[in-house]
C-alpha cells in the first residue's frame, strides 16, 4: 500500500482531512490507538496509507512541536496578535498576555495593528514602537485600503499561524484579505445552512500562499497561564529579558529588588514603561494564582 506524509487540515469526529503535497485532500479514518479522542487534531503531521483515490487510513502521528487546547490545534508556529488602532481602542493588556501565553506554548509572536485608516501615522507608531523594540514583527494594516496585507501574507507564507485578538478588531476581514475565499470556507457561512441546529465549531487550516497555513477559527481562548511559577514570566517578555542579565540577583522578578537593571532601564527610558507596567500586573496575577494552587 502506498504511504504518504501529510497534515491534518480539518478534523470532524472520526474523519480527518489530510493534505498531501503538492495539493491532494484525502479523507481519512484513524488506525488503532489513534482512534482515541484527542489523538489526532487539526495541524497534526501524519502518515497515511491510501485505501482509495482520495481515501486513506492514518497510521502514525508525529510528535507535536506545539499544542493549543482551545481550539485544539497542533504545530502552530506563530500567534498573530490582532489589535485595532481605533474602534475599538487597542487593548495592550490583552496583547501582552497573548504574546506571553503564546511564547510559553512555544509559539512566535507577531503583531498586526489594523484600521490604520482611522488614525494618523504618529498614533500608529506610538503603539507599534514598543513591540518592534521587543523584537516582534509588527504589521500595520488597513483592510479597506489594502495596506500591509501583501507584506503580512509574505511574512506568514511559510508557517502555520493562528489569529488571536478581541472581537471587532478585524480578524475576519484580515483572514479574508489574506486568503481569498476564506469567508466561504469558514463557519460564518455554513451556519446559515444549519437550520438552527447547534454545531460545534471545528478549526480548519486554510492554505496561505504556497507553503503556509492559517487557522480559520480566529483566536485561541486558553488565555490563562494555568498554574505557573511566576519565575517563568520574565522569560516571556523578550524586551525585559534583554536587560535582566544586569540585575543584581539572578532570579530577579524586576519588582522592587535592589540593583534591578530592568527597572533602571525603564527609568532611563530605554525600556517601554507601558510594557513594564503590564508585566507587573500580570506578574501579580500569576503570583496570586500560584500561591492559591493547593
Ligand X SMILES: Nc1nc2c(ncn2[C@@H]2O[C@H](COP(=O)(O)OP(=O)(O)O)[C@@H](O)[C@H]2O)c(=O)[nH]1
- Which option in Mg ion, ligand X, Zn ion, none does residue 144 bind, with CB closer than 5 to 8 A by kind? ligand X
Residue 66 makes contact with ligand X by CB under 6 A: no
95 φ, ψ to 5°?
-60, -45
Q: Which of 14, 21, 54, 117 binds ligand X (CB under 6 A)?
A: 117
Q: Which of 11, 66, 75, 172 binds Mg ion (CB under 5 A)?
A: 172
Q: What mask of x and - would describe binding to ligand X in positions 229 to 268, judged by CB under 6 A?
A: ----------------------------------------
Tell me the C-alpha distance between 241 and 150, whole Å.
Answer: 32
> Closer to ligand X at the Cβ: 146 or 227?
146
Residue 101 makes contact with Zn ion by CB under 5 A: no
Residue 168 makes contact with ligand X by CB under 6 A: yes
Place of cell 489530510: 18
> Closer to ligand X at the Cβ: 167 or 190?
167
Applying CB under 6 A, the span of 150-158, 163-171, 192-200, 222-230 interacting with ligand X comes to: 163-171
Tell me the C-alpha distance between 174 and 148, whole Å.
Answer: 10
Structural contact between residues 283 and 275, judged by C-beta atoms closer than 8 angstroms: no
Q: Which of 155, 169, 253, 271 binds ligand X (CB under 6 A)?
A: 169
| Alpha-carbon torsion angle 217, 285, 84, 124, nearest 10 | -140
Query: What single string gives the DSSP state of each residue in 144-188?
Result: TTTBTHHHHHHHTTTSEEEEE--TTSSHHHHHHHHSTTHHHHSHH
Tell me the C-alpha distance between 78 and 84, whole Å.
Answer: 19
Strands (E) located in 85-134: 108-114
> Closer to Zn ion at the Cβ: 127 or 262?
262
Name the strand (E) or helix (H) holding 290.
helix 273-291
237 φ, ψ to 5°?
-120, 90
> Closer to ligand X at the Cβ: 149 or 252?
149
CB 167 to ligand X: min, Å = 4
Structural contact between residues 140 and 113, judged by C-beta atoms closer than 8 angstroms: yes
175 φ, ψ to 5°?
-60, -40
Residue 252 makes contact with Zn ion by CB under 5 A: yes
CB 89 to Mg ion: min, Å = 18
CB 217 to ligand X: min, Å = 11
- Which option in Zn ion, Mg ion, ligand X, none does residue 252 bind, with CB closer than 5 to 8 A by kind? Zn ion
Applying CB under 5 A, the span of 137-145, 170-178, 189-197, 219-227 interacting with Mg ion comes to: 170-178
Report the interface residues with Zn ion, using CB under 5 A.
247, 252, 254, 260, 262
Amino acid at each position: 500500500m502506498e504511504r504518504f506524509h501529510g497534515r491534518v487540515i480539518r478534523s470532524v469526529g472520526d474523519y480527518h482531512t489530510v493534505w498531501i503535497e503538492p495539493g491532494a485532500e484525502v479523507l481519512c479514518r484513524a488506525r488503532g490507538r489513534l482512534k482515541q479522542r484527542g489523538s489526532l487534531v487539526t495541524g497534526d503531521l501524519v502518515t497515511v496509507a491510501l485505501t482509495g483515490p482520495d481515501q486513506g487510513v492514518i497510521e502514525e502521528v508525529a510528535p507535536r512541536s506545539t499544542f493549543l487546547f482551545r481550539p485544539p490545534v497542533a504545530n502552530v508556529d506563530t500567534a498573530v496578535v490582532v489589535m485595532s488602532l481605533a474602534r475599538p481602542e487597542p487593548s495592550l493588556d490583552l496583547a501582552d498576555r497573548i504574546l506571553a501565553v503564546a511564547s510559553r506554548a512555544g509559539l512566535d509572536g507577531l503583531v498586526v495593528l489594523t484600521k490604520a485608516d482611522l488614525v494618523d501615522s504618529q498614533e500608529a507608531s506610538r503603539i507599534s514602537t514598543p513591540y518592534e523594540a521587543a523584537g516582534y514583527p509588527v504589521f500595520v494594516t488597513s483592510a479597506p485600503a489594502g495596506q500591509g496585507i501583501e507584506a503580512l501574507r509574505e511574512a506568514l507564507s511559510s508557517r502555520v499561524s493562528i489569529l488571536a485578538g478581541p472581537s471587532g478588531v478585524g480578524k475576519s476581514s484580515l483572514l479574508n484579505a489574506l486568503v481569498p475565499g476564506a469567508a466561504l470556507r469558514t463557519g460564518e457561512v455554513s451556519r446559515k445552512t444549519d437550520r438552527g441546529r447547534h454545531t460545534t465549531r471545528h478549526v480548519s487550516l486554510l492554505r496561505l500562499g504556497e507553503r503556509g497555513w492559517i487557522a480559520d477559527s480566529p483566536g485561541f481562548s486558553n488565555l490563562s497561564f494555568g498554574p505557573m511559577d511566576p519565575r517563568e514570566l520574565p522569560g516571556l517578555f523578550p524586551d525585559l529579558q534583554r536587560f535582566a542579565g544586569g540585575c543584581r540577583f539572578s532570579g530577579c522578578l524586576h519588582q522592587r529588588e535592589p540593583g534591578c537593571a530592568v527597572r533602571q532601564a525603564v527609568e532611563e527610558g530605554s525600556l517601554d514603561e507601558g510594557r513594564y507596567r503590564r508585566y507587573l500586573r500580570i506578574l501579580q496575577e500569576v503570583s496570586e494564582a500560584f500561591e492559591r494552587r493547593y
